[in-house]
Amino acid sequence: MADVKIKKKNVQVASGGAESSLDVWSVFFLLGGIVSAAALLWYSGEIGRDLSGYYDNGWGQKGFDLTYVILSFYALLSGIFTKVLLSGASDVIRLLKKQCNIPYAGNITGDIEIFQSSVYVCNACDTVVNYKQNTCSNCEEQLVF
């Protein structure tokens, strides 16, 4: 066998960047919202049991304090909202990098659907018009359908 020389080749690998850190933080905030909601629900049940004197499962018998239940739903919704907001921001960064031909990390979420549609346009000035209009709003020409 013939000996083959090995050569070093430099390649670009897209890792890190602002879009990746935003994705990590979005998952962190979502998990934080879930954990805090569960902790608040558990704490609410403990307070309800201590105040009422009942030691049951807490549901339906003076068990859960409504304030903490509402706070737990707020914590969960704020975690979900922050996840969606930061994921959207990371997608915007990826789209901008893709448009400028800069390597980006991760995947752009969602599929782009391209579909065919029909609109009515004025033959004289190419302005989009409503099919119920009699005259063009731009050039005042009479429209015939």
What is the tens place of the pLDDT at every residue in 46-101?
Answer: 665 555 555 555 555 556 677 888 888 999 999 999 999 998 888 888 888 888 88
Instruction: Tell me the pLDDT tens digit for each residue of 5-46.
Output: 555 566 555 556 777 788 888 889 999 999 998 888 888 776
Q: Tell me if the pTM is above 0.75.
A: no
d(CA 71, CA 30): 15
Asked if pLDDT for residue 104 goes beyond 70, the answer is: yes
d(CA 105, CA 129): 43
The domain segmentation of the chain, as residue ranges, is 17-99, 117-145
